[in-house]
Structure 1
Amino acid sequence: MVLLCAAWGVGQVAMKVGGEGISPLAHAGLRSIGSLALLWLWCRARGVPIVPPEGARAAAALCGALFAGEFVLVYTGLTYTTAARGVVFLYTAPCLITLLAHLLLPNDRLTRGKAAGLGLCLVALMLAFGDSLRLPSGREAIGDLLCLAGAMAWGATTITIKATRLRFAPAEATLASQLAVSALLLPLGLALGEPGIFDPSPLILGVLGFEIVLVAFGSYLAWFWLITRYRVSGLAALSFLTPVFGVLAGAVLLGEAVTLPLVTALVLICVGIWLVNRPA
């Protein structure tokens, strides 16, 4: 899970760079189309079904809609608010996932230790991005709410997988249903007047390739496999590492500054993760 967070953190930088040459919805759609093609080859080589079992198809369709909706909400939200504010509101999702797990999953209850750990992670995230968390303008408030709605879609997707027959389906089939629906974001973006790939430079195409192979195919396949086998509250807490890795990747790859609040936030997040995952 730590490796996945590192990949997603670098993926945030890749999305930022790729956005300089690909419009948002087309970007997400192209990523899903490429990853779906790789997943089909993977399933064909391994003899794994790519279609969810019959009893899980309604849940798979719902997850696909939520998965695509998350990207629409977050990409749109980031056109109204800053990236730092968007990250903070998007990463309320682990808290939402843990609360829903407490309500809907009998084997994943919220304890005082888990609540303290999640609260510490959220405070640490606000510390890391505190400079950007002033009172929002009207435009920023719209973007903040859209990113918060994206967090809700992320949480609902995770719990739907865990609480339905999808938890018994191969991870490949679960991922395929979500990539298939989110691939529709490409024609949606073009229908809304997006230019698609407007700067097909080697850097932009290389970034898109990284997102297709390592993020949307490799890391998401591993994520859906993990969901079916481990407590979602523990996985959700670990996901707080993603924005920290994203800032660190920005420092290494884009020359952005690493501040003392960021380092402090990383320490606090590690303590919070320990509180959530420690044995009872």
Structure 2
Amino acid sequence: MENRQTLDKTATVMMVVVCAIWGLQQVAIKVAAEDVSPMLQIALRSGVAAVMVGLLLTLRRYREKCHWQTWRGGVVVGVLFAVEYIAVSVGLSYTSAAHMVIFLYTAPLFAAIGLHLRFASERLSRLQWLGILIAFIGIAIAFYTPGKPGDGWVTPQRMGDALGVVGAIAWGATTLSIRCSRLTDAPAPLTLFYQLAGACIILGLVALVTGQTRFHLSGIAFASLAFQTVVFSFLSLLVWFWLLSRYLGSRLGVLSFLTPLFGVAFGVWLLSEPLESTFVLGSLLVLVGIVVVSGHDVLHGDKAVARLST
């Protein structure tokens, strides 16, 4: 833990690729939404990825470190992960992938506030509080994207954006829950397994109860599900945990905020989503605020906290 390296060229390239994969996730869900409902997509990808991670955990080096006492924390993070992606899947029906990725990736702000309230060692500095203020001003500006004439203040897009913020709060709460439970010392793949299993079970049930079981396995749907399951839910997250085990977490954390930029770029490129001036300005303020909050650790020593775990 104490001998982690600063970023070299290999780690930087790998992290940029991982961020691109994460940024493409929301777009992949949106692209296949006409053939497979978003709720069912996430349930399916989570279930298959959970099996893959479960097989990984049977390896001796992980099996010896997995303890049944982690189940309580596992249930909590599984539920929170499911809540996050229920918000995402429903929200994508109302807003664009570009909007969703920006609002969802405000999660580190909520995590930082929760950690500040819970742990003395995680107290925020004045500069970090300023970063949080800048980011929340950015959220308000991005949220104000004008609707159609006569829509009123509560537009479908704003409903979707609000659900993105709900997802971010659930993600931030997941980070806090991991730190407050036995999962903080458990192997990272075990935490990932709890999250994936929880999402599969809960989102699968919600999809059944609400009738969101639309499934037409077209070429686009197959490619999207394969990408989400193998590339995103399994490979990219394992690479992320591998990088965290070898390199300084704060440096990786700052690079991870390339993800929203990739998400917006892919949304515009692949889905022809429009970019409103208020959304662009608000997004830039959000990203500046997040970098100020999370980049603080780069200047004041690495805390090696894994802000991202989905």
- TM norm structure 1: 0.79
> Is the Cα contact below 8 Å between 2:37 and 2:214 reproduced in 1?
yes
Which AA in structure 1 matches 2:228? Answer: E
Change (3 A) 1:251 1:84: closer
Shift of 1:69: 1.4
Gaps of 5+ in 1: none
Instruction: State the alpha-carbon separation in 2 of the partners of residues 125 and 214 from structure 1.
Output: 30
Within the alignment, does 1:34 sit opposite 2:54 as a pair? no
Within the alignment, does 1:197 sit opposite 2:215 as a pair? yes
> Is the Cα contact below 8 Å between 1:77 and 1:86 reproduced in 2?
yes
Counterpart among 138, 142, 145 of residue 132 in structure 1: 145
Q: Percent identity?
A: 35
Instruction: State the alpha-carbon separation in 2 of the partners of residues 249 and 139 from structure 1.
Output: 22
Within the alignment, does 1:100 sit opposite 2:120 as a pair? no
Counterpart among 172, 196, 205 of residue 155 in structure 1: 172
Correspondence list, 1:72-151, <5 A: 72-121=86-135, 129=142, 132=145, 136-137=153-154, 139=156, 142-151=159-168
Shift of 1:53: 1.5
Partner of 1:186: 204
Counterpart among 252, 260, 279 of residue 243 in structure 1: 260
Which deviates the most, 16-25 or 46-55?
A: 46-55
Which deviates the most, 107-116 or 47-56?
A: 47-56
Partner of 2:304: none
Shift of 1:32: 0.5
Partner of 2:23: 9
> Is the Cα contact below 8 Å between 2:132 and 2:289 reproduced in 1?
no
- The RMSD of aligned alpha carbons is 3.8
Shift of 1:247: 1.4
Which AA in structure 1 matches 2:107? Answer: A
Partner of 2:296: 276
Change (3 A) 1:130 1:190: closer
Change (3 A) 1:46 1:220: same
> Is the Cα contact below 8 Å between 2:111 and 2:173 reproduced in 1?
yes
Shift of 1:195: 3.1
Which deviates the most, 203-212 or 132-141?
A: 132-141
- TM norm structure 2: 0.73
> Is the Cα contact below 8 Å between 1:26 and 1:187 reproduced in 2?
no
Partner of 1:21: 35
Which AA in structure 2 matches 1:188? Answer: V
Gaps of 5+ in 2: 1-14, 301-310
> Is the Cα contact below 8 Å between 1:11 and 1:215 reproduced in 2?
yes
Instruction: State the alpha-carbon separation in 1 of the partners of residues 198 and 106 from structure 2.
Output: 24
